[in-house]
Amino acid sequence: MRVLVVGSGAGGASAGRELALRGQEVVVLEAGGPLRPFPRIVQLSEPLRRAGLLGTVRTLRHLFPAMSVARSREGVLVARGLAVGGSTGISCGNWVRAQRGLAGIGLDLRSEFEELERLVPPRPFPRERWRPTTERMFAAAQEMGLDPRPTPKAVDPQRCLGCGLCELGCSQGARWDSRRFLGELTRHKGEIRLGARVTRVLLEGGRACGVAVEGSSREVRADAVVLAAGGVGTAQILRASGLPVSDRLWIDVVLTLGGVARRARQLDEPPMVWYADRGRYILSPYFDLLSHIYHRPWRNVSVRDRVGVMVKLADAANGSVDREGHVSKALTLHDQAVLTEGVSLAQEIMERSDVDGPFVEGVVHGGHLGGTVPLLKEDVPSMHPSSLPERLWVADLSLVPGSQGLPTMLTTAAIALRVARRVAESLAG
């Protein structure tokens, strides 16, 4: 049986690998090209940045094609990975079990989490390599009763240079990304096609039978299709195919509060080496590159002296995606109130850690995109949303009903692993 997997990130690579290991003929279609890490020129570009000569976030795609950043109609930045490896190639390398709300629909991913953690063992980044400011902020969070903990990471500390630029691609191969799973797929005779942007799903007799690819007169046929293009990409393809999509997009909103500490050099460690879970959000040390490069209020502080603490919010599932991929996403009043609470705690952590003001908020953005094809409780046994036709599956965060406010790479891979096994079972039957 031939299966098309659309997308090569944590979802697509995990599903494709599992299907290939089970003897299916797998073709992964990736809209982007190769992942090329961005040159480490942050310090060298400081004069241009401070003069505002690096353009706006819209120019980022020209400098770093693996990352696409666009604004929602309401002004929230939405980031996506568009290269082989999807968003795993531009991630912080966090390997966290994010499962908020999954028990409510009866989805228990413990066995998949355990299996993936054996394949990619999580470990915290060594404390002796944390920057002193980060260590002080961790101690402050402990004193405040926030119960911070070191972040489980899919990062090899022996290969990590501590450049802090994980989200611009890892030139050392220290951080795991889904290309490693794709390598196993190809060793089992799977195929990966780059620059293959899927525009719609082909349907015959009430079931999926392939996809159409942009710029190609040839339709790609298959026995089953697995969409793993993320909460935006998957929704866009479904809309263009005349299939239902839920207007419940969530993005795990990020707002970083910036402070100043001379020679803090926060970029000399990976981002998010610890985090404190507050339920609706987490707090974590984070050098916000988007804000540092493109946000005017951050321009007057050097890369050496900038310190950031992230508030990652489990935002309301109230966004939508149209057939062109344009996003509508606004923060609710409750979202804003929770962010305000988180920012206040972030400032207190920094003030207790010898980080000075002015404290300036960064740009509001999000890059964990889900909720557009949410699983219902009755769908969980099959992992097939009842709104979709036969032989069409989804294997990404689109299936998750609510925002996590946590790193989601491991959860995406776990869901895709479960979906792939249901796909294999259905084809065998």
Contact 136, 76 (CB under 8 A): no
Torsion of CA 108, 113, 115, 119, to 10 degrees: 160
Tens of pLDDT, residues 332-377? 999 999 999 999 999 999 999 999 999 999 999 999 999 999 999 9
Which pLDDT belongs to residue 64? 80
Q: Is the four-CA dihedral 170, 253, 194, 221 of positive or negative sign?
A: positive
Torsion of CA 26, 28, 34, 38, to 10 degrees: -120
Of the candidates 392, 411, 414, the residue with the CA atom closest to the CA atom of residue 403: 411
Which pLDDT belongs to residue 59? 73
User: Helix axis angle, 10-21 relative to 179-187, nearest 10°?
Assistant: 20
Of the candidates 337, 429, 346, the residue with the CA atom closest to the CA atom of residue 382: 429
Contact 412, 397 (CB under 8 A): yes
Q: Which helix (H) or strand (E) holds 413?
A: helix 409-428
Alpha carbon 126 to its chain centroid, in Å, reads 24
> What mean pLDDT comes out for the span 383-412?
98
Contact 207, 217 (CB under 8 A): no
Tens of pLDDT, residues 138-194? 999 999 999 999 999 999 999 999 999 999 999 899 999 999 999 999 999 999 999
On whether the 2-428 domain is CATH 3.50.50.60, my answer is yes
Mean pLDDT of the chain: 95
Tens of pLDDT, residues 20-78? 999 999 999 999 999 998 766 555 577 767 767 566 777 777 778 889 999 999 999 99
The dihedral region occupied by 279, where left means phi > 0, alpha psi between -120 and 50, and beta the remainder, is left
Q: In this structure, what token pair is assigned to residue 25?
A: 């003929």
> What mean pLDDT comes out for the span 252-268?
97
Which pLDDT belongs to residue 40? 60
